[in-house]
Amino acid sequence: MLERLSKARLRLYQVEDVRRDEGLRLLDLRSGESPWVRERSGTHELERWDVLAARVVAEEDGVLVLEGGAYLFPPDAKSSLLARLRKEERKLRRRDAAVDDDALFRRFAPIVHSLWLARAAPQPKPHFVTAEGD
């Protein structure tokens, strides 16, 4: 299991179909592939059009499952996430034209985490006050 997880990369998906307690049809926003993923608990929270960053791995029997945590984004975040992914890809390709998806998504994972954290736990803006109370 650890070997499979170590090879899995955080990728961007959009939920195409949800079957409660069975699984999800996900659209890989990079490749355009649409795998069926066995999932139980997520089918109670996810809805069609939701965007998520997740690791999809095959179990021993070949069935695809979500592994580890998934980062849920609202549907309107799709274009900004894809734009950020394309920007990272351009930066990587300037250094190495032969960069593959594996390297791209390893680089993109901490960015996804930061973007998700900014939405999930926004920090309050600082409030400055002078010594006089202004």
Using one digit for the tens of pLDDT, what is the confidence trace for 45-90?
999 999 999 999 988 898 999 988 889 999 999 999 999 888 988 8
Predicted pLDDT at 1: 57
Q: What is the CA radius of gyration of the chain?
A: 18
Cβ neighbourhood burial of 37 (10 Å; 0-12, 13-18, 19+): buried
The residue written with tokens 């996900």 in the block is 26
Using one digit for the tens of pLDDT, what is the confidence trace for 102-120?
888 888 888 888 888 888 8
pLDDT band at 129 (very low <50, low <70, confident <90, very high): confident
28: number of Cβ within 10 Å = 14
